[in-house]
Chain A
Amino acid sequence: MHIGMLYSRIRLEEKWLLEAARKRDIQVTKIKDDDVHFELDSHNGKDWEKLDVVLERCISHSRAFYALRFFEQYGIPTVNRFEVCRMCGDKALTSLALASNKIPTPRTSIVFSRDAALDVMEKMGYPVVMKPVVGSWGRLMAKIETREMAESILEHKSVLGNYLHSIFYIQEYIEKPQRDIRTFVLGDEVIAGIYRNSKHWITNTALGATVSNCPLDDELNELSLRAAKAVGGGAIAIDLMEVEGGYTVNEVNYTMEFKNSVEPTGVDIPAKFIDYIVSVAKS
């Protein structure tokens, strides 16, 4: 078995994955995304034919997006697949996938102009949440409480530069019990769940949320698997919120980070991850 690991930086997750692979005597070739050079019809001299599977661990969504498409072109299986990256990397596409599979998710609107954004927010009722369609770690998310705040944030977005900031992703605000839930799906199994606890409305661990184990009930299990399947399946982290009568799926992540989740859950996520990658390669 020979895994190629496409990476940007060796963080704790990548280090653990390398260790887990080496413990199983699996050969790993590290492929730094800074150094790759893709040609349309060849590997450009790289010895990638020998790889059974490529594990994508880029930090940058745009690099992952193109790299996965090239590996797909070369016929090399990847975790995750290009289509999964495309769906999860764009919040609008994720929301559409969830909705079309009848998975509960917050009410969401996409608009392209300032006036339409204000109109949607007024109709949705404040507070609302505005997120970049591409982005992670809670970056540039805004909880908008009034029309005046909305006007300011829309003005700021208009000068941010990236054209994607003129695609306004607006979502109803969900009152959370000072926590949300993240579940980790590998193929057909939900291997672990965590609560991300924070007094802040943004509960990303990147912004300081603390982590504790979340027992997986039947509904959480089923919803997580359905959400993962909706975006194409694979190694997926699902973010859910507790609402009256159950859960709602907030976001779906395709390059899962888990360094804060191994200890509280007691689950050896890197080991299970490597086992999953091997199963993809063999299939």
Chain B
Amino acid sequence: MTECPECGYKLELKDMEQGEIFSCKDCGVELELFSLEPPVVKLAPEEEEDWGE
């Protein structure tokens, strides 16, 4: 369990992968699970110009 860095919502991190991208259920901001142990969540990086397929 950790908090959304944007709104403080308590985030449940069950069955997640390190590096996984997900949205905060409360404020909707895009987050990245930076570390599982200890649980660290950061705001996901902004899209850059060379991103894609």
Which residues does A use to contact B, with CB under 8 Å? Answer: 7, 9-11, 14-15, 18, 30, 32, 59-62, 132, 134-137, 139-140, 162, 237, 253-257
Distance in angstroms between the alpha carbons of A60 and B51 in the assembled complex: 4
Chain A residues, CB < 8 A from B32? 9
Residues of chain B within 8 A of A15, CB atoms compared: 17, 20
Whether, in the assembled complex, B12 has its beta carbon less than 8 Å from a beta carbon of chain A, the answer is no
- Residues A10 and B53 in contact, CB atoms below 8 Å apart: no
Nearest-Cβ distance from residue B46 to partner chain A, whole angstroms: 12
- B41 smallest CB distance to A (angstroms): 13
Q: Knowing A9-B32, A9-B44 touch, does A137 contact B19 (C-beta < 8 A)?
A: no
Max count, chain A CB within 10 A of own CB: residue among B18, B32, B49, B53: B53
Residue of A nearest to B19 (CB): A10
B38 located at the interface, meaning its Cβ lies under 8 Å from any Cβ of chain A in the complex: no
What would be 21 A-B contacts, judged by CB atoms less than 8 Å apart? A7-B19, A9-B19, A9-B20, A9-B32, A10-B18, A10-B19, A10-B33, A14-B17, A14-B19, A30-B19, A32-B19, A59-B51, A132-B49, A134-B49, A136-B52, A137-B51, A139-B49, A140-B49, A254-B53, A255-B52, A256-B53
- Are A255 and B53 within 8 A (Cβ)? yes
Interface SS of chain B: loop
**Closest A-chain residue to B30, C-beta based?**
A9
Interface residue ranges, B against A (CB under 8 Å): 17-21, 32-33, 44, 47-53
The answer to whether B49 and A162 touch across the interface, beta carbons within 8 angstroms, is: yes
Q: Among the listed A18, A30, A32, A135, which residue makes an inter-chain contact with B49, where contact means beta carbons less than 8 Å apart?
A: A135
Which chain B residues border A30 with CB–CB below 8 Å? 17-19
Q: CB distance A134 to B21 under 8 Å?
A: no
B28 to chain A, nearest CB (A): 17
B15's nearest neighbour on chain A, judged by CB, is A15
How many angstroms from the CA of A11 to the CA of B20 in the assembled complex? 6
Contact A61 B52, beta carbon cutoff 8 Å: yes
Please determine whether A237 and B53 come into contact, CB atoms closer than 8 angstroms.
yes
CA of A175 to CA of B48, assembled, Å: 29
Residue of A nearest to B21 (CB): A9
Shortest B14–chain A CB gap in Å is 14
User: Contacts of A61 on B, CB cut-off 8 Å?
Assistant: 50-52
CA–CA, A132 to B48, complex, Å?
Answer: 13
How far, in whole Å, are A32 and B52 apart by their CA atoms in the complex?
17
- Chain A residues contacting B20 (CB-CB under 8 Å) are 9-11, 15
